[in-house]
Amino acid sequence: MVKLGIVGAAGRMGRCVVQAAQVAVDRVRVTTAVEAVDSPAIGADVGALAGIGAIEVPVTDTLQGADFDVLVDFTHPSATVEHAAFCRDAGRRMVVGTTGLDAEQRRCIEQAADSIAVVLAPNMSVGVNLCFRLAEMAAKTFGDEVDIEIVEAHHRHKVDAPSGTALRLGEVVASALGRDLDDCAVYARQGQTGQRSRETIGFATIRAGDIVGEHTVLFAAEGERVEITHRASSRLTFAHGAVRAALWLAERDRGLYDMQDVLGLG
């Protein structure tokens, strides 16, 4: 039985992870639920908050003294770095779904993975990770004969753009073409932009309503185009992936992994 800790437990993703863990209750059990110190959820039963009924796990404001094997983190970059340091020092494994990490924050998590096992992935969905592989195949097949655009849409509350998933799609495609995404990405177009360069990879971002998450990679040639699209209708798809990653990670001692490793696609 894997003991699961959840930070941001009262948030949208945190509650979904609690629900997903209940589906796999024969293999995983939520034992720790943490929220920010000023959260009104402190003291509440995390199962009741998630709508699955009380599971006798109250929400607390600290990881100190907590009993868990794997910590699941869908919070924000600065908090995730602190949680990674805690897990490193405590010898606990960690699943990180936080997006918007800058280079230094990512480096902190990579350094923690020298001591503990970490799954770091911009998207825990099985379908999205399959799309990563399909996008790689398409890029290698088309080569430099197509224009490539990545379009993503999320709810109005999302604070980073483009999404971590969109950026990862861009990295996968750029790598398949022998390009550096930092050099070829175009994140905005306005005014007299001139003719599009085939060497660029364009990004378009939509923030509206309650869209859970949509991503499309478009490969457009003369006379035809191919679109690889993933649409998420429920955050539970990410939560089930996170629980799957936690179960997989429980058998590893140290190292940095992603969902491609978890799913055997790497």
Amino acid at site 100? G
Q: Are 104 and 129 in contact (CB under 8 A)?
A: no
154 is catalytic: yes
What's the longest Cα–Cα distance across the chain? 62
Q: Are 4 and 28 in contact (CB under 8 A)?
A: yes
Q: What are phi and psi of 53, to 5 degrees?
A: 95, 160
What interhelical angle do 126-142 and 236-249 show, nearest 10?
90
158 is catalytic: yes
Q: Are 254 and 114 in contact (CB under 8 A)?
A: yes
Q: Are 21 and 30 in contact (CB under 8 A)?
A: yes
Q: Which two tokens stand for residue 104?
A: 């230094």
Instruction: Name the helix (H) or strand (E) containing 159.
Output: none
Which residue out of 83, 140, 154, 155 is catalytically annotated? 154
Instruction: Name the helix (H) or strand (E) containing 1.
Output: none
Q: Are 152 and 163 in contact (CB under 8 A)?
A: yes
Which residue out of 3, 76, 155, 158 is catalytically annotated? 158
Residues 6+ apart with CB under 8 A from 215: 128, 131, 150, 151, 152, 163, 165, 166, 169, 229, 230
Catalytic residues, which ones? Answer: 154, 158
